[in-house]
Amino acid sequence: LRRCLHTCLCDGKRYFQLCFSRKIRLRTMTKAILVLNAGSSSLKFSVFELTHSGALTLLAKGKIDGIGSTPHFTVKDQLGVSLAHEHWAADTLIDHAYCLREISTFLRQHYQGIDFIGAGHRVVHGGIKYAAPLLLNPGIIKELESLIPLAPLHQPHNLAAIRAVTALNPTLPQVACFDTAFHHGQETVAKLFGLPYAYFERGIRRYGFHGISYEYVSSLLKQQQPAVAAGKVVIAHLGNGASMCAVQDGKSVASSMSFTALDGLLMGTRSGNLDPGVVLYLLEHEGMDAKQIEVLLYAQSGLLGISGVSSDMRELLDSSAPLAQLAIDYFVHRISLELGALAASMNGLDALVFTAGIGENSAEIRRRVCLKAQWLGIQINQQANAAADICLSEQNSKTSVWLIPTDEELMIARHTCEQLGLPIAHRILN
């Protein structure tokens, strides 16, 4: 250790990291949880160490994106120091299973002595049945396959990651955490569509998504601001995928996303809320089939579709193209409408919380949303907003505004430990 610290002083943080990860960890068996979040063209992973005191500490976080085109592999350690940054040649054989083998090889090389005791997965849809995280077995995996039509762009990839882990290590316990689970307790009226009731019973209902993020953010709010968390809160998860959720006393009351992850807010490439008559019109009068409409609604709409410039909010904010500005205006407009609706679902609003990529990083979007929500008693403190403080509202603001970075991976790691019967420290933050 003395030699490592000495080298650190000479050669900087990076060497210190390497000393720690490669040499010291070699001598002790580190218990760790692997968390996987598989998308259509990406595989994100995090490795959490479970310490003797029961705390979960991030060791590494990485992702492979561009699966199916030109894969790009990046990994950072807990301090954000880059451990890998590779562009791979395009190869149709590179699928989720291949990527998982590469991740496994990388982790074995960098974290020798690591003992993976479980893997936790983000699974988008739990259907009517699954209201909580659960330990997977072949029967459950089969049931989750039957939900693919409800989340065609996410569920197959979540399941591919589960199968890839099984192939690599058949005895490793795997836990599924569902994005729909947090919303399970909503009242029936919040889950209904105005279709004949028989459709509701067949599972055609509002489920809501981003539940792992909402669960994490509301737990953290409860830990840090218990009085606020006990009230009427709207959480705005504004990322590439975006939704909002009314949370009262820590429980989901209503959500902007519904049957699929298409409904609600405008997203990076997804349309959000749409008159169903538009789909009928596209089918009958524009000569489009279901597959073409799926591509239009999931991949060609949203910020990208309106602006014609990009799905990335940073690029739109930097762009002077009129349609880029229109896309941002509509993004904010939809948030304002959903905020009003979700406040109505709770008969009031005590706090608004921003989270995820845009919510955490764009002071400009937060400012615009808050200005449109003055009628709800929101007064933003411009300085606090620009500085990305935790509390963003003026002291005398009737409704408070907060910024809480989400951490879906930590939430999944916690649930994985719980499902494996491993004691973890009570506090969500380590």
- Reference 231, options 375, 399, 93, 86; nearest CA is 399
Q: Which of 36, 221, 229, 356 binds ligand ADP (CB under 6 A)?
A: 356
Residue 235 to residue 339: CA distance in whole angstroms: 9
In the complex, least distance from residue 380 CB atom to ligand ADP, rounded to whole angstroms: 17
Cα-flanking dihedrals φ and ψ of residue 94, to 5°? -80, 100
What percent helix, strand, coil does the chain show, rounded to 5?
45, 20, 35
Residues in the interface with ligand ADP (CB under 6 A) total 13
Torsion angle defined by CA atoms of residues 303, 306, 309 and 311, in that order, rounded to the nearest 10 degrees = 20
Binding mask 235-254 for ligand ADP (x = CB under 6 A): ----xxx-------------
Is 179 annotated in the active site? yes
272 belongs to the binding site for ligand ADP (CB under 6 A): no
| Region of 86-94, 192-200, 269-277, 307-315 interacting with ligand ADP (CB under 6 A) | 307-315
Q: Which of 56, 236, 358, 410 binds ligand ADP (CB under 6 A)?
A: 358
Residue 84 to residue 88: CA distance in whole angstroms: 12
CA 42 to chain centre: 13
* Count of alpha carbons within 13 angstroms of residue 256, beta-carbon side: 31
Cβ-closest position to ligand ADP: 357
Which residue reads 């009737």 in tokens? Answer: 398
Site for ligand ADP in 308-327 (CB under 6 A): 312-314, 317
The single residue of 77, 91, 179, 312 carrying the catalytic annotation is 179
335 belongs to the binding site for ligand ADP (CB under 6 A): no
268 belongs to the binding site for ligand ADP (CB under 6 A): yes
Binding mask 99-138 for ligand ADP (x = CB under 6 A): ----------------------------------------
In the complex, least distance from residue 236 CB atom to ligand ADP, rounded to whole angstroms: 12
46 belongs to the binding site for ligand ADP (CB under 6 A): no
The DSSP line for 26-51 is HHSPEEEEEEEEE-SSEEEEEEEEE-
Please name the amino acid found at residue 220: L
| Region of 250-258, 273-281, 285-293, 306-314 interacting with ligand ADP (CB under 6 A) | 306-314
In the complex, least distance from residue 188 CB atom to ligand ADP, rounded to whole angstroms: 29
Residue 181 to residue 216: CA distance in whole angstroms: 13
Judged by phi (left if over 0) then psi (alpha if -120 to 50, else beta), residue 396 lies in alpha
21 belongs to the binding site for ligand ADP (CB under 6 A): no
Q: What amino acid positions are annotated as catalytic residues? A: 179
List contacts with ligand ADP (CB under 6 A).
Answer: 239-241, 268, 312-314, 317, 356-358, 361-362
